[in-house]
């Protein structure tokens, strides 16, 4: 028999709290609290606990701390606790800026390293989790899939010459006010009802960076469309907890991504998009299907993502020269400096911020060049590793992945899954690798497709790149599904 319990709590960050802005800009307006939900599922001797939050990312050092604390109070293993972030950019730091690169699988933060918001998130999570075992009730899982096309767009632009670019709002509207391109519009709802058919809690998912209210030079605190949509659905069912899972959103954004509009307008649009999605969830919830099975399965695996060879010293020196020239132009206040080593920068960013956006690529090129100049070619990294977890709730399969998978990875999981509903999700437990492209998108030089350049530990992925995550997710779902 399947059992479930969940709790949602809120955190109200302090004004002027630290953010992920590359210029160190602190949070300005606090437009509302950030929410987190803890959900405990049980079937026989199997338990799985899901932690979801309206923060931008999970990193091993922080998620390990939360997962270990929750596992301890529930009497389960840490691998039975999975942490998912909505990838909301309008949040605040939970600890010092963690950086990107190789995942630190086993590292764990000291609690003294947490910010005020990080401490609140940790304490709230543990307190909620501690109450859930006594609140477990027998449930049945029901599911439906809505479709929402009004709020997101594919942000990987393609030029006539075959080159690619990162499409922010000023680029998107050039293709049409309503342009959205190739998106994943699925909006699944998984509802747990008790034996009297009363809703107990919900899981929902959607695919798209929540970045409508976001501007890195004018940060605001707001839960963006995921939080608003969850609140909308919760209210329709007497305030039940609703947990949000972010899809494979590496190449998808909410509309309004990076504009210089007043913060109140940006927040208003984020709320509007959240209401749209909430209405779509509610419509789907009117036609729920009951899962034929009512049990639980869990499995996980590490996946190797091999790298391509180190670029030549000549190529790396050329990259360094181009970046240094670009930074000099920006330092002079040149508003026309908008492109550098395949990266396109929006006019909505100040020249100062453009410098900070390309600075990591300069560090990467210098790091990569050092293997040539210092005679350390034998030390060049060969691969990265990522984790994939599969959760089966009756007829429903959820695949969680490290990083920010591109939507093509999620589509492969949906297409190849043997279950009636497969829900692919990124931003699970760790986002240090950041963007992980699928094979068709691998090798391009736009920002998400070449994010390895924002680290000093990663190199370009070798194909099939992120398709390896999809294959592992499908295999894990098959392994925990008895025919």
Rounded Cα–Cα distance for residues 372 and 368 (Å): 8
Q: What share of the chain is helix, strand, coil (3-state, %, to 5)?
A: 35, 25, 40
Write out the E strands in 377-463: 383-393, 396-401, 404-405, 421-425, 435-436
Tally of residues, the chain: 483
The rounded distance, in Å, linking the Cα atoms of 450 and 436 is 9
For residues 232 and 395, the answer to whether their CB atoms sit within 8 Å is no
Rounded to 5°, the CA angle 478-68-298 comes to 10
**Token pair 């670009």 is at which residue?**
326
Burial of 306 (0-12, 13-18, 19+ CB in 10 A): middle
**Contacts of residue 183, Cβ cutoff 8 Å, sequence gap at least 6:** 149, 152, 153, 154, 207, 208, 252, 407
* Helix axes of 263-285 and 224-236: crossing angle, nearest 10 degrees: 40
User: Tens of pLDDT along the chain (483 residues)?
Assistant: 999 999 999 999 988 898 888 778 889 899 999 999 999 999 999 999 999 999 988 899 999 999 999 999 999 999 999 999 999 999 999 987 667 999 999 999 999 899 999 999 999 999 999 999 999 999 999 999 999 999 999 999 999 999 999 999 999 999 999 999 999 999 999 999 999 999 999 999 999 999 999 999 999 999 999 999 999 999 999 999 999 999 999 999 999 999 999 999 999 999 999 999 999 999 999 999 999 999 999 999 999 999 999 999 999 999 999 999 999 999 999 999 999 999 999 999 999 999 999 999 999 999 999 999 999 999 999 999 999 999 999 999 999 999 999 999 999 999 999 999 999 999 999 999 999 999 999 999 999 999 999 999 999 999 999 999 999 999 999 999 975
DSSP assignment string, 100-125: -SS--TT----GGGB-HHHHHHHHHH
Q: DSSP string spanning 154-180?
A: E-EEE-TTS-EEE--HHHHGGG-TT--
Q: What is the DSSP string of 240-254?
A: --EEEEE-S-TTEEE
User: Per the omega criterion (within 30 degrees of 0), is the bond before 69 cis?
Assistant: no
Does residue 477 contact residue 397 with C-beta atoms inside 8 Å?
yes
């Amino acid at each position: 028999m399947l059992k479930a319990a969940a709790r949602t709590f809120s955190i109200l960050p302090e004004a002027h709290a630290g953010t992920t802005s590359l210029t160190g800009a602190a949070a300005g307006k606090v437009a509302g609290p950030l929410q987190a939900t803890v959900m405990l599922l049980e079937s026989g001797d199997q338990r799985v606990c899901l932690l979801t939050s309206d923060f931008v990312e999970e990193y091993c050092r922080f998620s390990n701390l939360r997962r270990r604390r929750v596992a301890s109070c529930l009497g389960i293993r840490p691998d039975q606790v999975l942490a998912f972030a909505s990838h909301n950019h309008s949040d605040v730091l939970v600890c010092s800026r963690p950086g990107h690169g190789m995942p630190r699988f086993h590292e764990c933060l000291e609690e003294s390293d947490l910010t005020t918001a990080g401490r609140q998130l940790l304490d709230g999570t543990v307190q909620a989790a501690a109450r859930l075992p006594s609140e477990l009730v027998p449930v049945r899982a029901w599911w439906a899939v809505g479709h929402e096309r009004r709020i997101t767009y594919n942000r990987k632009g393609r030029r006539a010459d075959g080159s690619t670019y990162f499409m922010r709002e000023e680029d998107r509207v050039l293709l049409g006010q309503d342009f959205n391109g190739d998106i994943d519009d699925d909006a699944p709802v998984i509802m747990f009802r008790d034996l009297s058919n009363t809703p107990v809690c919900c899981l929902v998912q959607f695919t798209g960076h929540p970045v409508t209210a976001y501007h890195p030079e004018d940060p605001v605190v707001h839960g963006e469309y995921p939080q608003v949509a969850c609140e909308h659905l919760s209210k329709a069912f007497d305030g039940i907890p609703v947990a949000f899972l972010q899809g494979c959103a590496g190449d998808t954004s909410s509309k309004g991504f990076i504009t210089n509009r007043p913060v109140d307008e940006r927040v208003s649009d984020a709320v509007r998009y959240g209401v749209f999605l909430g209405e779509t969830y509610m419509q789907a919830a009117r036609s729920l299907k009951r899962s034929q099975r009512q049990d639980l399965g869990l499995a996980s695996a590490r996946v190797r993502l091999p790298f391509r060879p180190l670029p030549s010293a000549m190529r790396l020196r050329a990259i360094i020269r181009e970046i240094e020239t670009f930074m000099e132009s920006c330092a002079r206040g040149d508003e026309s400096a908008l492109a550098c080593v395949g990266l396109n920068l929006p006019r909505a960013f100040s020249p100062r911020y453009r410098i900070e956006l390309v600075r990591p690529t300069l560090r990467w090129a210098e790091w990569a060049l050092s293997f040539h100049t210092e005679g350390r070619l034998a030390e060049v990294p060969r691969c990265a590793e990522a984790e994939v977890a599969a959760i089966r709730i009756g007829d429903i399969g959820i695949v969680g992945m490290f990083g920010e998978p591109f939507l093509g990875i999620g589509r492969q999981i949906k297409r190849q899954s043997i279950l009636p509903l497969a829900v692919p999700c990124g931003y699970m437990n760790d986002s240090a690798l950041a963007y992980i492209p699928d094979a068709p998108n691998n090798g391009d030089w736009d920002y998400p497709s070449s994010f390895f350049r924002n680290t000093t530990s990663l190199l370009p992925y070798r194909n099939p790149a992120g398709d390896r995550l999809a294959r592992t997710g499908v295999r894990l779902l098959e392994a925990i599904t008895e025919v």
